[in-house]
Amino acid sequence: MARHPRLVFPGIPLHIIQRGNNRVPCFTSEADYLVYLTLLGQYAAIASCQIHAYVLMSNHVHLLLSSGSADGPSVLMRRLGQHYVQYFNRRHERTGTLWEGRFRSCLVDHERYLLICQRYIELNPVRARMVEDPASYRWSSYRANALGEADPLITPHLVYMGLGTHASERRASYRHLFGEIIPDGVMRQIRDASNSNAPLGSASFAEHVRTTLGHAPKTSRRGRPKIADRNLP
């Protein structure tokens, strides 16, 4: 069966999920996380992608990024995936694939969903009951976006920049958002859109995507992750 074209528009944020094959761990040591983040920075620059948020879980990865070109995210994920797998296999004396096929993604309506999607990503460790506070999890962008910790990977989106005039004001406003619960319905929207290559946003955003494409976007229906999975997306 032919694969549906991935929805990628230059300048429109993209939420990406990449899972370990059969949900096997993709990171088993501190060195693994550090190597992945280093490679992510290298290939994001080469592919003209700006990273707004990320989280590295034990068996999957979430990224929120914008690209200057339609093929930027695919170039990034292909090179990143290949070089990280080469490193991981050498280090852990294994062979074969590490990732579960193609990465999953969805376009994100930045006007209404960008900051929600950022929170969704950075709260992954909390939902997985790995930590109680997102600041306690080392392998995410939360401490950069919310606390001002230096992170060369992160380029704030204009929506984030609109949270305040000064950096301290933006960080305080961003932290305040984490006091709001993301409704279950919105969580389902994010998961369903990301798993099916569908636009995540308002009806007007979906219409903009349809108009730009010249037809309704083709989506891929996939089963939802099992609730019992410790590392839910």
Is there a domain that residue 98 lies in? Answer: yes
Q: Look up the domain containing 128 and give its range.
A: 14-213
The domain tally of the chain equals 1
85-89 average pLDDT score:
97
Give the C-alpha distances (Å, rounded to integers) separating 196 from 23, 60, 159, 202, 218.
Answer: 19, 17, 25, 16, 9
Q: What is the pLDDT of residues 38-73, one digit of tens each?
A: 999 999 999 999 999 999 999 999 999 999 999 999
Is there a domain that residue 42 lies in? Answer: yes
Beta bridge pairs of residue 15? 64, 106
Is there a domain that residue 139 lies in? Answer: yes
pLDDT band at 2 (very low <50, low <70, confident <90, very high): very low
Which distant-in-sequence residues (6+ apart) come within 8 Å of 177 by Cβ? 115, 119
Higher pLDDT, 35 or 224: 35
Is there a domain that residue 228 lies in? Answer: no
Beta bridge pairs of residue 49? 67
Q: How many residues does the chain have?
A: 233
**Res 160: pLDDT:** 98
Burial class (CB in 10 A: 0-12, 13-18, 19+), 165: exposed
Is there a domain that residue 7 lies in? Answer: no
Instruction: Yes or no: say if 118 and 64 are a contact pair by the CB < 8 Å rule.
Output: yes
Is there a domain that residue 1 lies in? Answer: no
**CATH at residue 106:** 3.30.70.1290
pLDDT band at 213 (very low <50, low <70, confident <90, very high): confident
Q: What is the pLDDT of residues 128-178, one digit of tens each?
A: 999 999 999 999 999 999 999 999 999 999 999 999 999 999 999 999 999
Phi, psi of 39 (to 5 degrees): -65, -40
pLDDT band at 185 (very low <50, low <70, confident <90, very high): very high
Question: Residue 20 carries which DSSP code?
Answer: B
Q: Is the pTM of this model over 0.85?
A: yes
